[in-house]
Amino acid sequence: MSAILTTSDVLDQALRNAGLEEAFDDRGIAHEDCPGCGAAGGLKLSLARGRVQCSACGTEGPLLAYLREKSEAGEWNNDPFSEAEVIPIEPRLPKVDPVLTLVPVVPAPIQAELLAEPEDVAPPVKSTSRSDGRWCERIIMSLLALIFLGAGLAAAGLSGFANFQAFSLGVGDPVQARIWGWSGVIASV
């Protein structure tokens, strides 16, 4: 562990999490089984270079990334659900009758007959309450339209007045002030 004492705190924590704090020799090198090809002791971990490299398959990468993945894999392997059986999900197809699928369907000629209407059926009665409801709806909608029209015109008038005042206050000559004021009214419209 003497070589590990010279490493950073981040690396020390990653080594502890992966369970490799005692695996390195005095030169700062350790050997592990390669997760890629499975070569026993083929993966060389170097503290000095901060790299891992497999002598069998040539896979290499950063040491910190390997240590993090190893610690995460260790946490995953301790999970009680890691040994659970995986059940493949297959789509449910509708049940088909094999007899119906083998017989070709040929359209039969369609014949239509006109049937006489029974004489004892009464004609449909129109409801008067529905037409009364429509009149009430029309009256309410008309009143609301007038209210919103008045509110819109009042807002336009107030906006025009405010713009007239704002545009005319910046001009000293009374004639030009009126011209600028009316241009403010036009701008509000």
User: Does 85 score more than 60 pLDDT?
Assistant: no
Query: Considering only 1-5, 40-44, 67-71, 96-100, which range has the smallest mean pLDDT?
Result: 1-5
* Amino acid type, 33: D
Higher pLDDT, 140 or 1: 140
Say which residues have a Cβ less than 8 Å from residue 31's Cβ, sequence separation at least 6.
41, 42, 43, 44, 45
Reported as type and span, the H/E element at residue 68 is helix 63-77
Reported as type and span, the H/E element at residue 82 is none
Higher pLDDT, 156 or 147: 147
Query: Considering only 5-9, 20-24, 132-136, 180-184, which range has the smallest mean pLDDT?
Result: 5-9
Q: What is the pLDDT of residue 2?
A: 42
Angle value at C-alpha 66, between 68 and 5, nearest 5 degrees: 80
User: Does 164 score more than 70 pLDDT?
Assistant: yes
User: Does 4 score more than 50 pLDDT?
Assistant: no
Q: What's the pTM?
A: 0.36
Compute φ and ψ for 32, nearest 5 degrees: -135, 165
Query: Considering only 59-73, 113-127, 161-175, which range has the smallest mean pLDDT?
Result: 113-127
Q: What is the pLDDT of residue 32?
A: 86
Binning pLDDT at 50, 70 and 90, where does residue 149 land? very high
Percent helix, strand and coil across the chain, each rounded to 5?
50, 10, 45
Q: What is the mean pLDDT of residues 38-50?
A: 84
Which of 143, 164, 161, 142 shows the shortest CA–CA distance to 153? 161
Q: What is the mean pLDDT of residues 129-153?
A: 86
